[in-house]
Structure 1
Amino acid sequence: MTTSPESAPPAVPEPARALFPVTRGRVKGYERAAVDSFLSHARDAFESPGHPSMTSSQIRAAAFPLARRGYEITSVDAALTRIEDAFARRERDAAIARVGTDVWIARTRRDAQTVLDRLQRPSRRRFQRTGPLRYGYRIDEVDFVMNKLARYLETGTGATIEQVRGVAFRMQRGGYREVQVDAVLDAVVEIMLAVE
């Protein structure tokens, strides 16, 4: 028996194919729609270099809500790292083409020296602290990492970009202000990307 188009059951749309592995059970991951939208925007921005509506630092700062049956966090983070690297290479190449290699190198050295000057401040006084009842990053942990980053900026050894991207600190009352520490970590990542 044949059916006419009018009497055929409506087609059920295929579910969109997941870009990354999806969490199961009670484990939460990044909300799929938010990640898909961000990556679509990143792809459009990368494919239209004349209209840079996204930068490597914006990719590094990307954050997504958590949800059940979301994308596995480690898979998305690994992809974002690769995308950030691609944007950073393009930004570096564009800057060199615009100002020349010598100016670009001098600018990168100046930025590195600015960060190094902060990192060479005495331990326990490198960043502002939160109030005594508020939480901030643990001072001893931050100082330990900042010593390694200072060594990297002086010698080019002692730290990798993956280590800087993955650093995490425990919290303490009266600790270092998170926003200042995070800004220095971001600056170091940008310097590392510039010299790769």
Structure 2
Amino acid sequence: MAPTFPRARRPQLGYDVDQVDEFLVVARRAYDGTMRPGDPKVTAENIRLTAFGMQKGGYSTAHVDAALERLEDAFAARERQIAARLHGDEAWLTEARTTAQVVANRLARPDRERFDRVNPLVLGYSVKEVDRFAERLGRYFTDGWPIGIDDVRTVTFTAQRGGYREAQVDLVLDAVVDVMLAVR
């Protein structure tokens, strides 16, 4: 059987092959509606938050990440269709607008005050880098400036002592992705 993804070169780390293959089997059953008892629920959000162990010679992280992004898009589109059928398009868009407003309010805060800070001895995200990216996102929400969903999914920040709390920044970025997927 051919491998699902290209492998990382042997001394390099890639995603754990068995974990990735198992996740994709469960995701396929979830999408096809053939879930088995004990299968975990798979949603666009679960896919975004999925993490795999690393192993030498594992699957190429870039290829798996790209596939997960496409899978997330497919699940998000299906979730939107289901929600629209059950509650109507307006309810779906109202929820997206509400989330967008909460995010926009957060992004509108002054520089260096957008997120909680970690202890000065602990590493967090670079305040300057996060604030710069938050400005771009703020323009997306207020003025419709173009920014791609992949820009949000793949943004990285360097570490800084006393920086922004990573979990809080990541939650806001996840909410931005949710809004972007909802209005596609």
Same-fold status (TM-score > 0.5): yes
Determine helix, strand or coil for the equivalent of 1:122: coil
Contact 1:149/1:158 (8 A) holds in 2? no
1:20 corresponding residue in structure 2: 5
Q: For residues 44-82 of structure 1, what are the alpha-carbon distances to aligned partners after superposition, in whole Å with 9 as ceiling and x for unaligned?
A: 111118999211011011111111120011111111111
Task: List aligned pairs for 1:11-160, cutoff 5 A.
Answer: 16-48=1-33, 53-160=41-148
1:183 aligns with 2:171: yes
CA distance in 1, matches of 2:121, 2:93: 44
Q: 1:50 to 1:96 in 2, by over 3 A?
A: farther
CA distance in 2, matches of 1:103, 1:80: 27
CA distance in 1, matches of 2:63, 2:159: 26
Contact 2:26/2:35 (8 A) holds in 1? no
The runs of at least 4 aligned residues of structure 1 exceeding 6 Å deviation read 49-52
Larger Rg: 1
CA distance in 2, matches of 1:135, 1:69: 30
Contact 2:121/2:161 (8 A) holds in 1? yes
Aligned residues: 181
CA distance in 1, matches of 2:176, 2:78: 18
The percent identity for this pair of structures is 47
- The code of the aligned residue for 2:25 comes to S
TM-score when normalising by structure 2 = 0.94
CA distance in 2, matches of 1:93, 1:140: 39
Q: For residues 9-42 of structure 1, what are the alpha-carbon distances to aligned partners after superposition, in whole Å with 9 as ceiling and x for unaligned?
A: xxxxxxx431001122311110100100111111
CA distance in 2, matches of 1:49, 1:66: 29
CA distance in 1, matches of 2:140, 2:99: 14
CA distance in 2, matches of 1:136, 1:117: 22
Determine helix, strand or coil for the equivalent of 1:180: helix
**Structure 1: gaps spanning 5 or more residues:** 1-15
Q: By how many angstroms is 1:177 displaced?
A: 0.1
Q: By how many angstroms is 1:158 displaced?
A: 3.1
Contact 1:119/1:147 (8 A) holds in 2? yes
Q: For residues 134-184 of structure 1, what are the alpha-carbon distances to aligned partners after superposition, in whole Å with 9 as ceiling and x for unaligned?
A: 010000000000111111111332311010001000000000000000000
**Structure 2: gaps spanning 5 or more residues:** none
- The code of the aligned residue for 2:16 comes to E
Determine helix, strand or coil for the equivalent of 1:103: helix
Determine helix, strand or coil for the equivalent of 1:29: strand
